[in-house]
Structure 1
Amino acid sequence: MVLADIQEYLKLIPAVNRSPQHAVWLTYDDEADALYVNFKKPSYATDSEMTDDDVIVRYEGEEVIGFTVLRASKRVKKSA
């Protein structure tokens, strides 16, 4: 696979550096139109909450271990 624009991926570096484990796993489910972001693998959520922006934040105890972005494709700005 050839990356058309690696610059877009390089923009992720600050977010990864700020993440709890300095690691981020991303998975996009086209059928569900959901982006899954995990800071820990394996992770076992003990609780979750839905934000007003339709993001599900997952917790393991008091620690945020990831979040799910619903309707992810609708959040992408269309290029001109």
Structure 2
Amino acid sequence: MSTSYLQYSKFILLKVSFDALLFEKEFRKCLRLLLIHEIRELKRWCRATFPKRFRGIMGRCFRYFWRNRPAAAASKK
């Protein structure tokens, strides 16, 4: 059985949640690897799993991602 990038991303984020800088680094990697619908699911999961501690990091990373996503991904909307 294979593991999806989304499940793998969740696993990694849980493992690195002890350090904010490492969390941000891995979170940015996750955003680069995942598809748009998986990113939306990751956002819902992160809000439920990390209620306040990483809210600023997640907001900053999501804003950066949505502004700078590749043109091909933006046109599929």
What is the TM-score when the length of structure 2 is the normalising length?
0.30
Tell which structure's C-alpha radius of gyration is larger. 1
Greater share of helix: 2
Greater share of strand: 1
* Bigger relative CO (Cα 8 Å, ≥ 6 apart): 2
What is the TM-score when the length of structure 1 is the normalising length?
0.30
